[in-house]
Amino acid sequence: MLPDLDALGFYLGVSRSSMLSHRGITHSIPFAAALALVAALLLRGVTKNGMHLGKLWLYLFLATASHGFFDALTNGGRGVAFFAPFSSVRYRFPFRPIEVSPISVSRFFSERWGRVLASELRWVWLPSLAFLVVAHLVRSLHDRTGRARAR
């Protein structure tokens, strides 16, 4: 959710054409890479079983970068500046099935909230849950086969 802190720009008078506006630099791939590096360096000493720094970085990078990709799948907004600060071009995917969520809390809790939540459940949360289950099963299978070979 950290990338959406840029939504504060709506209330602070940031121009919609600025890279600092919503879905600008904080939704970019370089931002995701830099944030993942900083977070991985801060977290590497507290991870379970001393997770390798590269694996931790990759996990955090994918978690952050996915935010911008999901936003590019919404049916609203001006697109995502995937390559900011190197380019201010904003991109939207041709297939945009996710109902865009209003920025305002009062507008979110209007007649649209049900459509927004149903859309996110269908296109974000259920696929993410399926991915998590498959990843867990693959890891469990890998761990079991690794232990079996070690015997």
**In the predicted structure, residue 150 carries a pLDDT above the cut 70:** no
Q: How many CA atoms lie within 13 A of 15 on its CB side?
A: 3
The tokens of 92 are what? 């939207």
* Local confidence band at 48 (pLDDT 50, 70, 90 cut-offs): low
The pTM (predicted TM-score) of the whole model is 0.82
Indicate the range of 13-27, 84-98, 113-127, 130-144 predicted with least confidence: 13-27
Long-range contacts for 100-108 (Cβ within 8 Å, ≥24 apart)? Answer: 100/74, 100/75, 100/76, 101/74, 103/7, 103/10, 103/22
Rg over alpha carbons for the chain, rounded to the nearest Å, is 19
- What is the structure's pLDDT at 124? 94
- What is the structure's pLDDT at 84? 96
pLDDT digits (tens, 9 = 90+) for 58-105: 999 999 999 999 999 999 989 999 999 999 999 999 999 999 988 777
- The mean pLDDT value for 117-137 works out to 95
- What is the structure's pLDDT at 44? 80
* Local confidence band at 151 (pLDDT 50, 70, 90 cut-offs): low
- What is the structure's pLDDT at 69? 95
Higher pLDDT, 37 or 149: 37
Identify the CA nearest to 57 among candidates 31, 37, 42, 74.
37
SS3 62: helix
